[in-house]
């Protein structure tokens, strides 16, 4: 009978230990992701200000609010701009982020300069609200 009680207790203790380790690992991973996201959004030249386009989507996706921090880098086909974006999904209680290195929006939505009609040399930071 003692073995019958001891085994579930040992299993429960093992699960608690694994959950604790997982939470610690998740926190470390989250910290690393946030650091990586900051690096993505920063310029190579430390003297430059960090610039990006803030995008808020007015419609929820699966009940989540969606916001984007976007740095346009390349012109695509003349009517799109593409670059790195950090997309945040938030339901008010919790949130998570994704990094998309190929995020694109219409080039008509932003002001930018390009010397070679390929790379974006500079752009004007702004806040957008999209459907």
- Domain residue ranges in the chain: 1-41, 45-130
Residue 16's alpha-carbon distances to 4, 13, 30, 68, in angstroms, are 19, 5, 21, 36
pLDDT exceeds cutoff 60 at 87:
yes
pLDDT exceeds cutoff 60 at 51:
yes
pTM above 0.85, yes or no: no
CB atoms under 10 Å from CB of 109, counted, come to 14
Instruction: Find out whether 85 and 68 touch, Cβ atoms under 8 Å.
Output: yes
Which pLDDT score is estimated for 50? 77
Q: Which of 30-39, 63-72, 97-106 has the lowest mean pLDDT?
A: 30-39
CB proximity list for 68: less than 8 A, separation 6 or greater: 53, 54, 55, 56, 57, 85, 86, 87, 88, 103
Identify any residues that bridge with 128 across adjacent strands, giving them in sequence order. 55
Which pLDDT score is estimated for 78? 76
Which pLDDT score is estimated for 99? 95
Helix, strand, coil share (%) of the chain residues, nearest 5: 35, 40, 25
Q: Which of 12-16, 27-31, 66-70 has the lowest mean pLDDT?
A: 12-16
**Residue 20 to residue 107: CA distance in whole angstroms:** 47
Q: How many CA atoms lie within 13 A of 90 on its CB side?
A: 11
CB atoms under 10 Å from CB of 81, counted, come to 24
């Amino acid at each position: 009978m003692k073995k019958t009680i001891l085994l579930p207790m040992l299993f429960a203790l093992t699960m608690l230990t694994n959950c604790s380790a997982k939470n610690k690992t998740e926190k470390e991973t989250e910290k690393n992701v946030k650091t990586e996201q900051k690096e993505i959004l920063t310029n190579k030249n430390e003297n430059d200000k960090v610039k990006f386009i803030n995008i808020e989507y007015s419609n929820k996706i699966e009940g989540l609010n969606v916001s984007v921090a976007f740095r346009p880098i390349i012109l695509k086909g003349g009517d799109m701009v593409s670059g790195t974006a950090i997309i945040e999904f938030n339901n008010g209680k919790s949130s998570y982020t994704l990094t998309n290195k190929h995020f694109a929006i219409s080039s008509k939505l932003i002001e930018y300069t390009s010397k070679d009609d390929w790379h974006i040399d500079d752009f004007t930071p702004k806040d957008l609200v999209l459907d």
